[in-house]
């Protein structure tokens, strides 16, 4: 839906600085060469010039950081990723992998000599490859008949743990054909899907069978591979013990994993001879326990724990620890009440680092390993989306804020020093508008916050056409990061409002859970509160308002449309309209039942919050969009919304992107969508006469 995938109205976030709401200047600021070229406004095409920097990995001796750089290639109509490396002492970054084959997930060998990564080359499966840090051709490490989903080096560097999904019949057949040197043509008619699982589909995967993901240990010297877990369960997030004897991992091994949200932290011997039949279960919490990380002495395992089972995705995800040999589980952030992400022990083991969703940002934080006060590592309204720990307390982070995309920085003594300048050349040409983190009150007095974007040439004496853009989730938040779409709208003369209404994370469980089984009520009042705030501040023109969003952003847009006619235009992307129509059609059967109950038992709750039942109240010109292979929020609901509006004689249009899941993947479709956004709002909010893009993707 929506929700659990946390697509921020597909904000297309890259991330990072103009000064935000009085905060100190961003550590990402740079000195552009003045007087060379007049600055210009952001355009749609700039999205394909900007690059996504991700996954920083600090080398063991803390002298280098490996990371990935991704581009959205319009010509080839695909997103491609490349591994790069930069010295922590400064200097030019260097590419480590070729451009022609996407590479991801770089990981250093423990001695720092080699860099392993995932890549699918020569039209084959995704495999582990390895190259010498000093140069040379990459060497293929694994030759599995299925894709390698994940891997991690052992502490001594003599082994690698792999995450492999059971091979499909097609994988097995292809491997046999390759072995005997015969390649059979693919059948013209695909075989039927035969399914007996309760959870029978998932977005981007399609229909599900009984193939499961398990852990395998690869000996680097002999290339012998040993399966160490098995069963009708999915195993993920493997983490080596410091002595290399054990692997901790997360898995839902209940009797019916498809019926609940449980997952526990388990430990298996790395040389297990019985394929994981002998396991140690560390956690007993009926909620989700994930992301295990060992202490340096091997005595403790830190992890993320969601302890309120009934709240499921609305519940706060806490930092917890448990003895590695088994024992009492302890929650360290019970009073902090913020979602914890990716805990890691410090190098000396005295504290635990983690990221957290907090007040419209995602700071890097630290807590004593035995519990205590949470401390932010970096000041200011900045976002840390990934981090890596090195020796002597050094940290490599992916750092961003609302006016600059993420870049790699090194944190020393509590201060960041930027190492990469991936997008500086392009951004030096562009004039961005101001971004403010504003506070306002909802109808019932609830304190709220959100971001407000202004056009580059903003004049305080004027009122501007204004767009309310609602984030997905709903359990997510607009972070302090670069929101390309918001800046694009601002570059086209709009004030853009991106509120964090109730249902958002980052403000505590009570705030998030306030919309449980009550969508389109308090969150409607909250998003409208930022509209009223912008009008009261003399910023927004009340006669020129637009609204829209993707995923839950589209769902809440539908609720806005049945409750007010204040908006001149709306865009409902990948939304739900008649919720009963999604049961058994999307991949949220568990979530629906936890929140609303089985539809045959509690139908009234489903109907109460379905916008479809008030469709006649919608009078706003509405652009409806979706992907035709979306199993998160299937396009049938968008079609239902469009059909209803068309039948009622309303101004509407339906755009369906072929072959696209919930989050659009094809660069040409991403470009087409942004152009249609601008055309629809331009016509109905501004009154422009510019033609919409043609019906075919460019």
257 found inside a domain? yes
- Looking at the structure, tell me whether residues 234 and 122 fall in a common domain: yes
- Looking at the structure, tell me whether residues 178 and 197 fall in a common domain: yes
Low-confidence residues of the chain, pLDDT below 70? 1-36, 690-698
Look up residue 188 and give its DSSP letter.
S
- Looking at the structure, tell me whether residues 421 and 488 fall in a common domain: no
pLDDT digits (tens, 9 = 90+) for 526-552: 999 999 999 999 999 999 999 999 999
Residue whose tokens read 């526990």:
264
Q: How many helices (H) and strands (E) does the chain have?
A: 10, 38
Structural domain span for residue 217: 44-50+102-409+417-426
- Domain final position from 366, 392, 426: 426
Q: How far apart are CA 291 and CA 280, in angstroms?
A: 16
Sequential DSSP letters for 227-285: E---SSS-EEEEEE-TTSSEEEEEE--SS-GGGS--BEEEEEETT-TTTTSS-EE----
pLDDT digits (tens, 9 = 90+) for 438-484: 999 999 999 999 999 999 999 999 999 999 999 999 999 999 999 99
Look up residue 288 and give its DSSP letter.
B
- SS3 label, residue 691: coil
CATH of the domain at 267: 2.120.10.30
At residue 391, the pLDDT reads: 78
At residue 690, the pLDDT reads: 62
620 found inside a domain? yes
* Number of structural domains the chain divides into: 2
**How many CA within 13 A on the CB side of residue 272?**
22
- Looking at the structure, tell me whether residues 174 and 275 fall in a common domain: yes
- Looking at the structure, tell me whether residues 284 and 334 fall in a common domain: yes
- Looking at the structure, tell me whether residues 271 and 327 fall in a common domain: yes
- Looking at the structure, tell me whether residues 373 and 463 fall in a common domain: no
- pTM score of the predicted model: 0.93
- Domain final position from 363, 396, 426: 426
- Domain final position from 426, 461, 486: 426
Q: How far apart are CA 649 and CA 189, in angstroms?
A: 41
At residue 325, the pLDDT reads: 95
Q: State the alpha helices, DSSP H only, in 81-141.
A: none
92 found inside a domain? no
At residue 32, the pLDDT reads: 46
673 found inside a domain? yes
Instruction: Tell me which residue of 167, 150, 261, 256 sits closest to 209, measured CA to CA.
Output: 167
- Looking at the structure, tell me whether residues 442 and 464 fall in a common domain: yes
- Give me the count of residues in the chain: 698
- Looking at the structure, tell me whether residues 489 and 613 fall in a common domain: yes
603 found inside a domain? yes
- Looking at the structure, tell me whether residues 616 and 645 fall in a common domain: yes
CATH of the domain at 473: 3.40.50.1820
Report, in this order, helix, strand and coil percent for the chain, each rounded to 5: 20, 35, 50
Q: What is the CA radius of gyration of the chain?
A: 25
At residue 575, the pLDDT reads: 97
- Looking at the structure, tell me whether residues 331 and 466 fall in a common domain: no
Q: How far apart are CA 199 and CA 264, in angstroms?
A: 19
25 found inside a domain? no
At residue 614, the pLDDT reads: 97
Q: How far apart are CA 208 and CA 216, in angstroms?
A: 22
146 found inside a domain? yes
340 found inside a domain? yes
- Looking at the structure, tell me whether residues 252 and 269 fall in a common domain: yes
């Amino acid at each position: 839906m929506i929700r659990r995938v946390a697509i921020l109205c597909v904000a297309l976030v890259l991330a990072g600085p103009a000064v935000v709401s009085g905060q100190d200047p961003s550590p990402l600021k740079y000195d552009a060469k003045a007087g060379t070229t007049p600055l210009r406004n952001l355009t749609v095409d700039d999205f394909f010039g900007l690059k996504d920097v991700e996954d920083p990995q600090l080398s063991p001796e803390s002298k280098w950081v490996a990371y990935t750089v991704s581009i959205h290639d319009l010509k080839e109509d695909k997103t491609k990723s490349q591994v790069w490396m930069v010295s922590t002492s400064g200097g030019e970054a260097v590419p480590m992998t070729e451009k022609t084959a996407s590479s991801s997930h770089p990981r250093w060998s423990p001695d720092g000599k080699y860099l392993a990564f995932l890549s699918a080359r020569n039209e084959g499966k995704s495999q582990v490859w390895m190259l010498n840090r000093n140069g040379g051709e990459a060497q293929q490490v694994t030759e599995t008949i299925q894709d390698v989903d994940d891997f991690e080096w052992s502490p001594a560097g003599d082994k690698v743990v792999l995450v492999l999904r059971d091979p499909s019949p097609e994988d097995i057949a292809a491997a046999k054909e390759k072995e005997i040197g015969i390649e059979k043509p693919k059948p013209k008619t695909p075989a039927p899907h035969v399914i007996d699982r309760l959870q029978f589909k998932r977005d981007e995967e399609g229909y599900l069978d009984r193939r499961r993901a398990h852990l395998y240990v690869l000996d680097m010297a002999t290339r012998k591979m040993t399966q160490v877990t098995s069963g009708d369960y999915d195993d993920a997030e493997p983490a080596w013990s410091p002595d290399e004897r054990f692997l901790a991992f997360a898995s839902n091994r209940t009797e019916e994993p498809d019926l609940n949200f449980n997952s526990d932290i388990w430990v298996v011997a790395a040389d297990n001879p019985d394929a994981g039949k002998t396991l140690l279960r560390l956690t007993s919490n009926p909620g989700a326990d994930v992301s295990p990380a060992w202490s340096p002495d091997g005595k403790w395992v830190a992890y993320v724990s969601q302890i309120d089972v009934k709240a499921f995705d609305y519940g706060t995800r806490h930092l917890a620890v448990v003895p590695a040999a088994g024992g009492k589980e302890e929650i360290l952030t019970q009073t902090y009440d913020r979602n914890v992400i990716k805990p890691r022990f410090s190098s000396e083991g005295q504290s635990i680092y983690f990221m957290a969703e907090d007040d419209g940002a995602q700071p890097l934080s630290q807590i004593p390993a035995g519990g205590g006060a949470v401390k932010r590592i970096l000041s200011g309204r900045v976002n840390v989306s990934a981090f890596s720990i090195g020796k002597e307390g050094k940290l490599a982070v992916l750092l961003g804020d609302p006016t600059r995309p993420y870049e790699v920085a090194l944190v020393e003594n509590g201060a960041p020093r930027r190492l990469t300048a991936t997008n500086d050349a392009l951004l030096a040409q562009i004039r961005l508008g101001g971004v403010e983190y504003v506070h306002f009150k909802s109808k019932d007095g609830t304190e709220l916050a959100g971001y407000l974007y202004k056009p580059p040439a903003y004049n305080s004496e004027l009122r501007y056409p204004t767009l309310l853009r609602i984030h997905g989730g709903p359990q997510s938040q607009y972070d302090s990061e670069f929101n390309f779409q918001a800046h694009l709208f601002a570059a086209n003369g709009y004030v853009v409002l991106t509120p964090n209404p109730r249902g958002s994370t980052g403000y505590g469980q009570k705030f998030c859970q306030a919309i449980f089984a009550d969508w389109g009520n308090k969150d409607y009042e909250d998003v409208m509160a930022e509209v009223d705030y912008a009008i009261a501040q003399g910023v927004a023109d009340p006669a020129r308002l637009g609204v829209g969003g993707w995923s839950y952003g589209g769902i809440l847009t539908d609720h806005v449309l049945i409750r007010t006619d204040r908006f001149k235009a709306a865009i409902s992307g990948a939304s739900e309209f008649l919720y009963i129509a999604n049961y058994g059609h999307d991949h949220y059967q568990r979530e629906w039942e936890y929140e609303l109950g089985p539809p045959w038992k509690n139908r009234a709750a489903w109907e109460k919050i379905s916008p479809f039942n008030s469709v006649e109240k919608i009078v706003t010109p509405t652009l409806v969009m979706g992907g035709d292979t979306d199993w998160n929020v299937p396009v049938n609901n968008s079609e239902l919304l469009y059909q209803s509006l068309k039948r009622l004689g309303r101004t509407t249009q339906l755009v369906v992107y072929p072959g696209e899941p919930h989050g659009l993947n094809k660069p040409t479709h991403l470009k087409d969508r942004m152009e249609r956004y601008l055309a629809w709002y331009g016509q109905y909010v501004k009154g422009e006469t510019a033609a919409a893009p043609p019906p075919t993707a460019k």
